[in-house]
Structure 1
């Protein structure tokens, strides 16, 4: 049996669009719902309890709008809230995990770097993941305060953003990292800057396509894929100021959108 309901996707802001675009590539006939909780961004500077409350409220909102599955397209919300969400709700809930495994398996130098928010880096799940591969590689971490705010402001190539990226990337390179893992979905939109700062010899590891593939797998497992021959729709909500929300989402999605307000 197939299911016509939409896939619900949320992030602390616009970063999860990097995953939503990949889901759209793999599942062009699925309807998507996207919530950008931008007024509460960045989640990385919030308490775990606060993130859990926001994640629960948004999940319930998406379920009220008939979501058949939820993609937590935010590393910080995943490490802080996904365990509780899965305990409370029965629909498939897919999260985001930093690509430490592929980076560790591919590293030649034996050193990988991780760019992420402070909340992600201090989480139990992140540290457990790092320890799994600590026998093979050294994992160097770098919190990145200010980067999410630059992306939310659409400052994707400004001098200030370039300066911040260089400040966070260079210490990892100096420590010998030959792979840099993007541990926040927002950072996918800065991948060109990160590659430029790191140099051609460094691989930048992003898991947006891996999350999209896992979404397909989970929908197949639960017989929830749509069999509609029609192109799927995409509906957007944002808690940001309306004109900013429209500009943010339209620019990064690649077309002019109607963005519904949400608090």
Structure 2
């Protein structure tokens, strides 16, 4: 495991970092602490029985994981939150590439994953091409803001995109945007601080930033000239959907990437004969890991995932 990926100790439910000596072995939250059941990857699993790795810089990718688990209920997942370096959207490209490659290599080495879902728009834009070259035996799936579905859904042809500054500045996003620019009018809004506020579960800051960025995006509604579709271009933002909708109104479509990513993952696994047919009834099928303070991940898992999920600090 790369030295930069620190582990956390199970002896510290407060989420403090482990000592170097303790970091060499996986750690487990006690079931009594979380009222959840933990399960480890089965040793010697067949190719189809190997887990799917999912990662983000923090808790945002849980929105994608939720869609993946709904679409692929027989699969086992390992979710890694790189919280020691979150959020990626406020980091330079070199740092994002280095972390993305390190986390991906670690998941592949420790868990023998059969697929890797990069549940982060910023990491996808910066490094998805590198990951596909470096992991030829793994199905690699990235996320991108749902501009194509937005064009298909919008009647007024006015679309707003909320995303991190790094995503909006990326070559990958620029290419996608340019290809669709004649099909609709896009308003691009860099949402500085919103992912960080969601990570911290800072309700007041989330409310203030949502009001600010929706206001910058234009006039929302279904009349001609109004924005009728809002693209959530960061996997954190679905967790602020209720707050965003307070300002857009109920008639506006909010689009994220969770379901399309889950469907694409299913297609890739099916085409390779790697779909799992079943897993043991007592196996919750999930490991959650973090490189930093585990408390935000623990809290988010309780809020956003089913109560039977396994939570492991590693």
Match of 1:247 in 2: 299
**Structure 1 length as normaliser, TM-score?**
0.93
In the alignment, which of 87, 90, 112 is matched to residue 159 of structure 2?
Answer: 112
Match of 1:129 in 2: 176
- Do the aligned partners of 1:246 and 1:257 also contact (CA within 8 Å) in 2? no
Structure with higher helix content: 1
Indicate how the Cα distance of structure 1 residues 127 and 3 shifts in structure 2: closer, same or farther if over 3 A, else same.
same
Is 1:169 paired with 2:214?
A: yes
Is 1:74 paired with 2:120?
A: yes
In the alignment, which of 201, 217, 221 is matched to residue 154 of structure 1?
Answer: 201
The number of residues matched between the two structures is 259
* CA distance, structure 2, for counterparts of residue 259 and residue 189 of structure 1: 22
Indicate how the Cα distance of structure 1 residues 106 and 46 shifts in structure 2: closer, same or farther if over 3 A, else same.
same
- Do the aligned partners of 1:116 and 1:142 also contact (CA within 8 Å) in 2? yes
* CA distance, structure 2, for counterparts of residue 245 and residue 24 of structure 1: 17
Tell me whether 12-21 or 219-228 shows the greater mean CA deviation: 219-228
- Do the aligned partners of 2:58 and 2:297 also contact (CA within 8 Å) in 1? no
* CA distance, structure 2, for counterparts of residue 128 and residue 11 of structure 1: 23
Q: CA deviation at 1:257?
A: 4.3
For each residue in 1:207-252, what CA deviation from the matched residue of structure 2 results, as whole angstroms up to 9, or x when unmatched?
2111001110010111111122534510010123233432233333
For each residue in 1:20-79, what CA deviation from the matched residue of structure 2 results, as whole angstroms up to 9, or x when unmatched?
111111111111000011121110111111111111111111111111110000110000
* CA distance, structure 2, for counterparts of residue 88 and residue 190 of structure 1: 34
* CA distance, structure 2, for counterparts of residue 18 and residue 238 of structure 1: 16
- Do the aligned partners of 2:75 and 2:279 also contact (CA within 8 Å) in 1? no
Q: CA deviation at 1:205?
A: 1.0
Tell me whether 1-10 or 96-105 shows the greater mean CA deviation: 1-10
* CA distance, structure 2, for counterparts of residue 96 and residue 178 of structure 1: 22
In the alignment, which of 87, 96, 115 is matched to residue 143 of structure 2?
Answer: 96
| 3-state SS in 2 of match to 1:259 | coil
* CA distance, structure 1, for counterparts of residue 256 and residue 175 of structure 2: 19
| 3-state SS in 1 of match to 2:79 | strand
**Structure 2 length as normaliser, TM-score?**
0.78
Q: CA deviation at 1:167?
A: 0.3
Match of 1:34 in 2: 79
* CA distance, structure 2, for counterparts of residue 243 and residue 100 of structure 1: 33
Match of 2:27 in 1: none
Match of 1:211 in 2: 261
Is 1:260 paired with 2:313?
A: yes
